[in-house]
Chain A
């Protein structure tokens, strides 16, 4: 009934879809197994992609040749560039998406990828032979063979949903939980844990009074995620902002005794940065109000996602409290919010390729690794898909460095530090964020994506163009000079100091109060020249000129830190022989088995002296 596949991907969420797409695109025969083909690439939480740090990840996925950016662009109903006032390194694209369209676009993309087959059924186990995975077993008892298996089970492994005092098994509301896999993996020697996350209620948009809320419209000039020529939005849907108040809080408090969180029925650890509304009230009692984002679920649907109101209190309390929110007086609820607990596997059990250390050719990606977020899941899926393909074909693994991509930071953090709570990306997790900008993800990664056979020739041509044009522009701006008579009047108008002698345009652009758009207004000939470049190139050049010193500083830092990455440590290195190491270092190094000295240095509890000792043993 089945051929022997190269790769079986278990789960068709954001991680599974990227994994299947990437591996198939690179040439592997892929089977995508899901419990429900109608919920492929389901946005189980809010209908939005990107945001601070996450938007950068979507750009990186796109630059490597993944699909999340394209799917997001094709299904978005609103676009905003966040952090516009905070400096180019912080600009973060974010979209509201049509939930159904998003899912549909992903399904179309996969259906149009020749190497992807589908199978709808629960996968209950993996087949292992001599520490190597060779296939999966289904709930019907079928055995499907493959050279490699990628598990992207999301919140489905022994998923347990809580609403007030009620609890029932499920991976999402209305969907079954996956059974059997955790138990088998634990038997094989994996360690598992329990995490928790939650979602807010969904309501009927027709029952809301938007005149009582603030409108949050999309950008006037909407951007997008993909570096390819996906379409730009011509019309957009707005979100709305409203606030809770004392009265809302008081009603919620009446349900605290039935809260599965406070009563201790939920054992899993939830994320600190994504607290439920009851958590917010409880921990920050002094706050009079909390922000609520009213987000449309699509172009045509009336369904609304009440972002900021994640809760697992009883449904009647949820409803009562909602009615006290300005604009929600007549609210009709579609679905109550809920909390969900699920199994995860501490990611320190993985290699940097996301392959497990215990079982060869078995990969984990997404929430199963203790992360949260579509973007975090998608990029892990992508990397697992790429690396599974590479390993089968005995090709070099793709491990992104911390200085190359947020994806590199994410995976490196997971593998070396593990995570105690659902891991979400923040820009502050990256030490080189001046380098890791959303505007240059293609410059950073597309060549790599192309080399491994994922990013198309077209993508490569485009980025090479961008690079060359930027270099030409930078060089010209260094040599092009403006004279006082030519521009002093314009400078006065811009309220910046006039110049006394000829000045290179580059120098002018270094002034904080002058941007590249101003330059076009300063002098007609300069305007003509600049109009010869694409906007993206102008922006690149501007950032590179303005950030010059800081980029240089970070590059120095990278050089210093990544020197240690050159020292490779052989797999299976026996740290117990190094008696001079501290006991803690020996224990952690043995467990994590870092691949390079740089990785070893990032493990908490390993001191610089320990690193010196290993260095000496490695003998260079």
Chain B
């Protein structure tokens, strides 16, 4: 069932700007429902009432959650690149944000575009003339090659084994159903409904966990968001610089220098961390700084790991105790770092003994190393544990979602006691979507499985 090309009615979505580079990312949708779908996730002007070739400011929201502030351009068919309804969403150029938005649009009803599909639609709607066909065809071939390579890369992990194990089970399940349908007259034993129910539930559980791993996969692919927080002038930017080994943050002795966020990626033993340096947390009357503080607290809530810095020379044990309580209440893994250890006496240090602190002088390499180890320790303790299969490819994610939907239909069918011919329809749909990840599935696989396992035939 290699049919997806046919579905020109679908609304397709993809990133139109080069991936991974640039301050702004443009996400393009094309198809009948491009405007309706965008409108559902866009807060700002009602896009269904927008004129063609107009630009609108607003936010993209997943329910209540704001994903990004964006500019949306609307092109109404046939006055667009593809001659279909087209919406272009200009968002911030972070991979993470772009993926979140595309994921949301897919959830809302768009489908990921195939390699070269925008160009192809443009061509089919007569935007190009025939001599340009060759170029377009080569483009499709090249893109699909690239996509194939990317998919292969992913396959090298545990993912491919996990998926083929699943496919095996699903084929086995399908075979048991097909066996009953095509060989009901034969002297073979058929699986019980309970066994089938158990098997499909097991499959669903695996698919569900793979789907859940997609968010985690994103975190790993885009870096574990790690917030460095603490009172002003606790040495946060200095720490970031030390970790980065370069002057990126603005460092000064004036408290409150960092008012915006500084992000950078640091790779610690193969795991990528997205470090976010924040404005210092303190009560302030400075309006701009107050906004900064508020944002910092917001960032902390979204982080996967918080490194909280205390200036040992300035803080009291009571304050540190209070901070630890507050962080524990957030429920996000954190590391307390006592900074400027070189500026306090041994006696002073003793007062902090009861706390689990990493003592640090941000300028000292040895103490930095112990922080690195602590970070890794926390990450490994957490659900990031390696060994679990993690889905990072949006296309795979999409197929898994559809597989799960079909399995839900199967379960519903079993509960409603529908006959096997109907169950088989949903099982085949599930197999089809799983096949989109692993390659083709044909009925020949089912028959081969049946002939291999059962003694069939008069």
Residue of B whose beta carbon sits closest to that of A310 = B458
Q: Is the CB of A512 within 8 A of B418?
A: yes
Residue of B whose beta carbon sits closest to that of A426 = B182
Q: Is the CB of B182 within 8 A of A86?
A: no
Q: How far is the CA of A606 from the CA of B447 in the complex (A)?
A: 21
| B5: chain A residues within 8 A (beta carbon) | 564, 601, 608, 611-612, 615
Q: Does B63 contact A (CB under 8 A)?
A: no
Q: Is the CB of A608 within 8 A of B2?
A: yes
Shortest C-beta distance, A572 to chain B (Å), equals 19
Q: Does B369 contact A (CB under 8 A)?
A: no
| B424: chain A residues within 8 A (beta carbon) | 428, 433
Shortest C-beta distance, B281 to chain A (Å), equals 53
The interface size bin for chain B is: 35 or more
Q: Is the CB of B418 within 8 A of A554?
A: no
Instruction: Choose among A83, A280, A310 the residue with the greatest number of B CB atoms under 10 Å from its CB.
Output: A83
| A609: chain B residues within 8 A (beta carbon) | 114-115, 140-141, 144
Q: Does B55 contact A (CB under 8 A)?
A: no
Q: Is the CB of B455 within 8 A of A612?
A: no
Which of B134, B421, B444 interacts with A433 by CB under 8 Å? Answer: B421
Q: Is the CB of A428 within 8 A of B421?
A: no
Complex interface residues of chain A between 72 and 94 (CB less than 8 A to chain B): 82-83, 85-90
Which of B133, B418, B422, B455 interacts with A616 by CB under 8 Å? Answer: B133
Q: Is the CB of B114 within 8 A of A612?
A: yes
Produce 1/0 per residue, A239-281, CB < 8 A to B.
0000000000000000000000000000000011111000010
Produce 1/0 per residue, B114-130, CB < 8 A to A.
11110010011000001
Q: Is the CB of A612 within 8 A of B421?
A: no
Q: How far is the CA of A74 from the CA of B37 in the complex (A)?
A: 60
Produce 1/0 per residue, B191-231, CB < 8 A to A.
00000000000000000000000000000000000000000
Q: Is the CB of A617 within 8 A of B137?
A: yes
Residue of A whose beta carbon sits closest to that of B422 = A550
Q: Does A613 contact B (CB under 8 A)?
A: yes
Q: Is the CB of B3 within 8 A of A52?
A: no
Q: Does B57 contact A (CB under 8 A)?
A: no
| B134: chain A residues within 8 A (beta carbon) | 580
Complex interface residues of chain B between 398 and 431 (CB less than 8 A to chain A): 416-422, 424-425, 428-429
Shortest C-beta distance, A496 to chain B (Å), equals 12
Q: Does A204 contact B (CB under 8 A)?
A: no
Shortest C-beta distance, A245 to chain B (Å), equals 13
Q: Is the CB of A426 within 8 A of B458?
A: no
Q: Is the CB of B425 within 8 A of A601?
A: no
Q: How far is the CA of A308 from the CA of B138 in the complex (A)?
A: 55
Q: Is the CB of B428 within 8 A of A608?
A: no
Q: Is the CB of B420 within 8 A of A90?
A: yes
Q: How far is the CA of A512 from the CA of B133 in the complex (A)?
A: 54
Known contacts A51-B185, A428-B446, A609-B144; is-contact A563 B8 (Cβ 8 Å): yes
Which of B120, B420, B446 interacts with A612 by CB under 8 Å? Answer: B120
Q: How far is the CA of A78 from the CA of B271 in the complex (A)?
A: 72
Produce 1/0 per residue, B442-458, CB < 8 A to A.
11101100010001111
Q: Does A344 contact B (CB under 8 A)?
A: no
Q: How far is the CA of A51 from the CA of B424 in the complex (A)?
A: 19
Q: Is the CB of B458 within 8 A of A46?
A: yes
Q: How far is the CA of A560 from the CA of B115 in the complex (A)?
A: 19
Q: Does A221 contact B (CB under 8 A)?
A: no
Q: Does A174 contact B (CB under 8 A)?
A: no
| B446: chain A residues within 8 A (beta carbon) | 428
Main secondary structure of the interface of B (DSSP, over half): helix
Q: How far is the CA of A215 from the CA of B371 in the complex (A)?
A: 81
Which of A293, A417, A433, A613 interacts with B141 by CB under 8 Å? Answer: A613
Shortest C-beta distance, B341 to chain A (Å), equals 60
| B116: chain A residues within 8 A (beta carbon) | 612
Q: Does B355 contact A (CB under 8 A)?
A: no
Q: Is the CB of B425 within 8 A of A434?
A: yes
Q: How far is the CA of A87 from the CA of B413 in the complex (A)?
A: 13
| A235: chain B residues within 8 A (beta carbon) | none
Q: Does B168 contact A (CB under 8 A)?
A: no
Known contacts A433-B421, A578-B137, A580-B140; is-contact A616 B120 (Cβ 8 Å): yes
- Binding stretch for chain B, among A58-66, A152-160, A176-184, A284-292: A284-292
Known contacts A52-B184, A428-B178, A554-B425; is-contact A620 B124 (Cβ 8 Å): yes
Residue of B whose beta carbon sits closest to that of A611 = B5
Q: How far is the CA of A46 from the CA of B458 in the complex (A)?
A: 10
Q: Does B69 contact A (CB under 8 A)?
A: no
Q: How far is the CA of A606 from the CA of B124 in the complex (A)?
A: 21
| A88: chain B residues within 8 A (beta carbon) | 419, 421
Q: How far is the CA of A307 from the CA of B187 in the complex (A)?
A: 13
Q: Is the CB of B187 within 8 A of A290?
A: yes
Which of A86, A308, A616 interacts with B420 by CB under 8 Å? Answer: A86
Shortest C-beta distance, B146 to chain A (Å), equals 11
Q: How far is the CA of A507 from the CA of B116 in the complex (A)?
A: 47
| B140: chain A residues within 8 A (beta carbon) | 580, 609, 612-613, 616
Q: Is the CB of B447 within 8 A of A426?
A: yes
Complex interface residues of chain B between 115 and 169 (CB less than 8 A to chain A): 115-117, 120, 123-124, 130, 133-134, 136-138, 140-141, 144
Q: Does B1 contact A (CB under 8 A)?
A: yes
Q: Does A500 contact B (CB under 8 A)?
A: no
Which of A308, A431, A617 interacts with B458 by CB under 8 Å? Answer: A308
| A611: chain B residues within 8 A (beta carbon) | 2, 5
Complex interface residues of chain A between 352 and 401 (CB less than 8 A to chain B): none
Known contacts A563-B6, A612-B140; is-contact A429 B458 (Cβ 8 Å): no
Q: Does B245 contact A (CB under 8 A)?
A: no
Q: Does A607 contact B (CB under 8 A)?
A: yes
Q: How far is the CA of A563 from the CA of B417 in the complex (A)?
A: 33
Q: Is the CB of B7 within 8 A of A563?
A: yes
Q: How far is the CA of A561 from the CA of B428 in the complex (A)?
A: 15
Q: How far is the CA of A537 from the CA of B3 in the complex (A)?
A: 35
Residue of B whose beta carbon sits closest to that of A614 = B137
Instruction: Choose among A51, A560, A598 the residue with the greatest number of B CB atoms under 10 Å from its CB.
Output: A560
Q: How far is the CA of A611 from the CA of B5 in the complex (A)?
A: 8
Which of B123, B182, B442 interacts with A52 by CB under 8 Å? Answer: B182
Q: Is the CB of B443 within 8 A of A429?
A: yes
Q: Does A299 contact B (CB under 8 A)?
A: no
Produce 1/0 per residue, B1-26, CB < 8 A to A.
11111111000000000000000000
Q: Is the CB of A561 within 8 A of B3?
A: yes
Q: Does B186 contact A (CB under 8 A)?
A: yes
Q: Does A427 contact B (CB under 8 A)?
A: yes
Known contacts A86-B181, A307-B458, A616-B123; is-contact A431 B1 (Cβ 8 Å): yes
Q: Does B180 contact A (CB under 8 A)?
A: yes
Q: Does A571 contact B (CB under 8 A)?
A: no
Residue of A whose beta carbon sits closest to that of B124 = A620
Residue of A whose beta carbon sits closest to that of B129 = A619
Instruction: Choose among B124, B138, B144, B422 the residue with the greatest number of A CB atoms under 10 Å from its CB.
Output: B422
Q: Is the CB of A431 within 8 A of B428?
A: yes
Q: How far is the CA of A617 from the CA of B135 in the complex (A)?
A: 10
Which of A83, A271, A606, A612 interacts with B457 by CB under 8 Å? Answer: A271
Shortest C-beta distance, B437 to chain A (Å), equals 14
Known contacts A431-B428, A550-B425; is-contact A608 B185 (Cβ 8 Å): no
B residues engaging A (CB < 8 A)?
A: 1-8, 114-117, 120, 123-124, 130, 133-134, 136-138, 140-141, 144, 178, 180-187, 416-422, 424-425, 428-429, 440, 442-444, 446-447, 451, 455-458
Per CB-CB distance, the 10 closest pairs between chain A and chain B, nearest first, are A87-B419, A563-B6, A609-B144, A291-B187, A87-B421, A89-B421, A580-B141, A272-B451, A284-B455, A580-B137
Mind listing 26 A-B residue pairs with CB under 8 Å?
A82-B184, A86-B419, A87-B420, A88-B419, A88-B421, A89-B419, A90-B419, A274-B458, A275-B456, A280-B455, A284-B455, A287-B455, A427-B178, A434-B422, A550-B418, A554-B425, A560-B3, A561-B6, A563-B8, A608-B144, A609-B115, A612-B114, A612-B137, A617-B133, A617-B137, A619-B133
Q: A428-B181, A580-B140, A611-B5 are in contact. List 8 more A-B contacts (CB 8 A).
A: A274-B457, A426-B178, A431-B443, A434-B421, A553-B425, A563-B8, A609-B141, A612-B5
